[in-house]
Structure 1
Amino acid sequence: MLPVVFVHGVRVSGTAWGPVISHLDRPATAVDLPGHGTRRGEPFSMDGATSAVADAIDELGGRAFVVGHSLGGYTGIATAGRFPDRVAGLMAIGCTSNSPFMMGAYRFAASLAARNPSRANRISAYGFRRFLPGPVGIAMVAGGLSCEVLPQAVEAVAGHDQLAALAAYPGRVWLVNGTRDQLRGNERDFLRACRNGRLILIPRRGHLSVLAAPGPLARLVGDLCDQVDRPENAVATPSPK
């Protein structure tokens, strides 16, 4: 059975994926990227992040399905381009923007957060619990928050060519966006870059709320893993509600 490696978004940690993993009936792990969770204080770089994902894949047998959200999605794309033999398939959620305007806005927000990371962490924790109530919001903050790493993460994403990484990866890619996600602006460009890609849109979900229903999200992950395992039996991919 194909295992899954989950990759978290910026400033949170692998604990964010706990609710999804609890619904998944297959081997799975969630990494902590450099500068986050158990690796807080380490510098963040895309090379370091992709190496962390590759190490997690190796611990599961050397080949896995990779699922990433936001920064984790960009890291998943970079991992697929750098280590295509390790990545059996890719589900990249909320990470299809490469517009200079958006990157400029994120640079500005990151610089503000880094000036007072303790305060930014408190605001972020409140926001996660407010917009993702219940176990999902708790999981987002359970591993601690790391707003001090935001500028490094933004620069790493801005400096990486995601479209080239997708073009280099021969495996199957699913780009997943909530219809209200502000980071879906270039999704068609990302889809065209894929050799074997598909776009899945989740109605009425935003960048964070796409994670709000861990059960349906886990079922989608499991279905996509099955399609990678048995592509001849692939059926229409359902969208989680």
Structure 2
Amino acid sequence: MGAEHGRVPVVLVHGARTSRTMWRAQVGALERSGRRALAVDLPGHGALRGESFTLAAAVAAVARAVDDVGGRALVVGLSLGGYVAIEHRAQRPEQSAGLVAASCCTDTASPLRRPWLRAARWIESWPDSGERLNRALVDATVPRAGRADLAEGGFALDAMSAVLAETGRCSPLDRLAQGRSPVWVVNGRLDHFRLQEGAFVRSARASGAPVRLVVLPGAKHLVSLDAPVAFSRVVLEAADSIEADARAARARSAGAQLPGARPADERGGVGDDDDVVPEPLERRGRDRP
């Protein structure tokens, strides 16, 4: 599994115009649980802002990160990172212990993509590349702790048009139907990217892999920043489930050599097919605005 002491490592992939620092809350939670966590910068973002964004280069960046943590990992992606993580799972199934696809339930072939691309190019042509608009949107929609996490890695204000052009070439619904590793589809209840949530879940289930849908109350598109404790809990439960499956598989393999042995079901986390809507966690520190 590429894990230390039976713990599955986790690779986290950020959204468009942000960077790996958006995952600071989740990296901290995962490390406290004893797991190795690595948040990566995609081309054109963060420390790689000087590089051109392409889907192929983004998938390659995720693959390198998985190699760095042992060769097989739970990959967590949000928005752009979710689409990249879906593509990585399809292209590199041997590296995928599981997928958490967050805030990416609109097909990239949506008719909305072309007008959004025109708007992105127009904003990037402004003298400040939309810096003041971006700051106002972040200040208005992201909790204080999340704003600090986003600002730490800076904003790739000139990356959006390349991101939209490149992601338009992928087919996440088709790609979700490929691969065999378990999938968690995670959305904020108020996310405008939930347009095709049901279709994404059905496509993932068409592969025969276990799939969970998790909707977090009160959260918007940047679900990991709006509800960091609740989102971290989903990632931890996903990792627990993958690890429990691995233990159960080893027990079954050992039991097959012992007549009459029936290893106990060790599956952790959430059930295979049930949709899950966790209770609000507003009492828990950083989930407050």
Aligned residues between the structures: 241
> 227, 233, 241: which is aligned to 2:267?
233
Where does structure 1 differ by over 3 angstroms across 4 or more consecutive aligned residues? none
Residue 23 (structure 2) pairs with residue 21 (structure 1): no
Unaligned 5+ runs, structure 1: none
> 1:147: how far off?
1.7
The residue number in structure 1 matching 2:78 is: 69
Indicate whether 1:59 and 2:68 are aligned: yes
Report the counterpart of residue 88 of structure 2 in structure 1. Answer: 79
Q: Point out which structure has higher relative CO (alpha carbons under 8 A, 6+ apart).
A: 1
* Greater helix proportion: 1
Q: Residue 17 of structure 2 is aligned with which of 11, 14, 22?
A: 11
Corresponding residue of 1:162: 172
| CA shift for structure 1 position 210 | 4.8
Q: Which residue pairs with 2:44 in the alignment?
A: 35
Q: Matched residues in 2 for 1:63 and 1:238: separation?
A: 28
Q: Secondary structure at the match of 2:194?
A: coil
* Alignment-mate amino acid for residue 225 of structure 2: L
**Counterpart residue identity of residue 28, structure 1:** A
Aligned partners of 2:127, 2:227: CA distance in 1, in Å?
Answer: 29
Larger Rg: 2
- Alignment correspondent of 2:104: 95
2:144 aligned with 1:144? no
Q: Distance in 1 between matches of 2:183 and 2:277?
A: 15
Q: Which runs of 5+ in 2 are unaligned?
A: 1-6, 246-265, 271-275, 281-289
SS at match of 1:118: coil
After TM superposition, give the deviation of residue 82 of structure 1 in Å: 0.7
Judge which range, 226-235 or 166-175, deviates more. Answer: 226-235
Q: How far is the alpha carbon of 1:238 from its aligned partner?
A: 6.4
CA contact 1:4–1:64 (8 Å) conserved in 2: yes
What per-residue deviation string (whole Å, max 9, x for no partner) do you get for residues 72-115 of structure 1? 00011011011111111000101010152221342133112221
Query: Structure 1-normalised TM-score?
Result: 0.93
Q: Distance in 2 between matches of 1:109 and 1:229?
A: 44
* Deviations 1:13-46 (CA, angstroms, capped at 9, x unpaired): 0011112212222210110000001000211111
CA RMSD of aligned residues (A): 1.7
Distance 2:146 2:127 in 1: 23
1:205 to 203, 219, 224: 219
Pair 40,240 (structure 1): closer, same or farther in 2 beyond 3 Å? farther
Which SS does the other structure have where 2:118 is aligned?
helix
Tell me whether 182-191 or 204-213 shows the greater mean CA deviation.
Answer: 204-213
